[in-house]
Amino acid sequence: MLQLSFDFDTQPPAISERGVSERKDDLDRAYDRASQWSHVLAARLGQAVRLVITDNRSTMLSARPKDGRLEVRLHHMFLTADENILQSVGDYLSESCAHAGAAIDRFIEENRSRFIAAGRPQSGLRTAGRHHDLRAIVDDLARRHFGGRVDVRITWGKNVRPKRRQRSLQLGTYLPEERLIRIHPVLDQPWVPRFFVEAVVFHEMLHHAMPAVVRGGRSHYHTSAFRKRERSFEYHRASEQWQEENLWRLLRRK
């Protein structure tokens, strides 16, 4: 017989529309739903499972072996999901379906605003550069690749000059706790093509849409599913070639 259990690694999750209800019937439904997910995942994966429901805002889904069982950690938003998402989680953890990750990403993006508090307003950030408008780029990429609006904020970062003999630049970063993308201002130059800035922004938007997967106690950010979606960007190859040919210019800031 498969062993299974579940636990809440947060305050009792709320299942009301706004995610803030403390009524007993909501809590009872949460436990019933978690118990159901535990049984289904254990049967689907064919191994002992401990399901942990969390309030982690950066890693919505992770799994690792622990104490002879597979510990699966899920954000409590998943307790509102239908059976199709439950099937996708099972497929994703068993690596039996290449499309499971995309289905989970869509579910997270559609429900993020209901369960995760917003960060500081976009108005406090610097999006309009001298040559590239980051907000316009995010909105355009959201329409072209993410099915509409993406709930992420973006800004130009600080203008820090590279050190002598430096051979690389971190052109973009994503801060999950703030849902914030920072882009290196070295890209805000007239000779840097828009498609390359788009490629950097697209990469960071994928980190927002595809949280890190934790396996064996390690966080994996650039999974095979991530790389596959990254290659779907229409200027992916052109951007790689452009960076290879022009990185030295970015390092020299000319």
Please tell me whether residues 106 and 43 are part of one structural domain.
yes
Please tell me whether residues 132 and 246 are part of one structural domain.
yes
Extract the residue ranges of the chain whose pLDDT is less than 50: 1-6, 8-23, 254
Q: HSE, CB side, 13 Å, CA atoms: give it for residue 2.
A: 17
Asked if residues 56 and 73 have their Cβ atoms less than 8 Å apart, the reply is: yes
pLDDT computed for residue 14 by the predictor: 41
- Rounded to whole angstroms, the Cα distance separating 156 from 159 reads 9
Asked if residues 78 and 13 have their Cβ atoms less than 8 Å apart, the reply is: no
pLDDT computed for residue 212 by the predictor: 76
Residue 105, domain extent: 4-115
Instruction: Give the domain-ending residue among 71, 98, 115.
Output: 115
The strand ranges marked E within 18-163 are: 49-54, 61-66, 69-75, 153-156
pLDDT computed for residue 160 by the predictor: 65
Asked if residues 182 and 172 have their Cβ atoms less than 8 Å apart, the reply is: yes
pLDDT computed for residue 8 by the predictor: 47
Instruction: Give the domain-ending residue among 115, 142, 174.
Output: 115
Q: What is the pLDDT of residues 153-184, one digit of tens each?
A: 999 987 766 555 555 678 898 988 788 999 99
Please tell me whether residues 94 and 157 are part of one structural domain.
no
CATH number at residue 241: 3.30.2010.10
Please tell me whether residues 106 and 226 are part of one structural domain.
no
Region of 118 on the Ramachandran plot (φ > 0 left; ψ -120 to 50 alpha; else beta) = beta
CATH number at residue 52: 3.30.2010
Q: What 3-state class would DSSP assign to 66? A: strand
Please tell me whether residues 180 and 102 are part of one structural domain.
no
Nearest Cα to Cα of residue 229 among 57, 42, 99: 99
pLDDT computed for residue 231 by the predictor: 93
Asked if residues 198 and 136 have their Cβ atoms less than 8 Å apart, the reply is: no
pLDDT computed for residue 184 by the predictor: 92
pLDDT computed for residue 202 by the predictor: 96
Please tell me whether residues 146 and 77 are part of one structural domain.
no
CA 43 to chain centre: 27
Give the strands of the sheet with 49-54, arranged side by side: 4-8, 49-54, 69-75, 61-66
Q: What is the largest CA-CA distance in the chain?
A: 66
Q: HSE, CB side, 13 Å, CA atoms: give it for residue 54.
A: 16
pLDDT computed for residue 167 by the predictor: 59
User: Cα dist. 42→29, 78, 101 in Å?
Assistant: 20, 16, 19
DSSP 128: B
Please tell me whether residues 241 and 154 are part of one structural domain.
yes
pLDDT computed for residue 33 by the predictor: 80
Please tell me whether residues 107 and 191 are part of one structural domain.
no
Please tell me whether residues 129 and 240 are part of one structural domain.
yes
Instruction: Give the domain-ending residue among 97, 115, 133.
Output: 115
Domains in the chain: how many in total? 2
**Count of residues making up the chain:** 254
- Rounded to whole angstroms, the Cα distance separating 213 from 220 reads 5
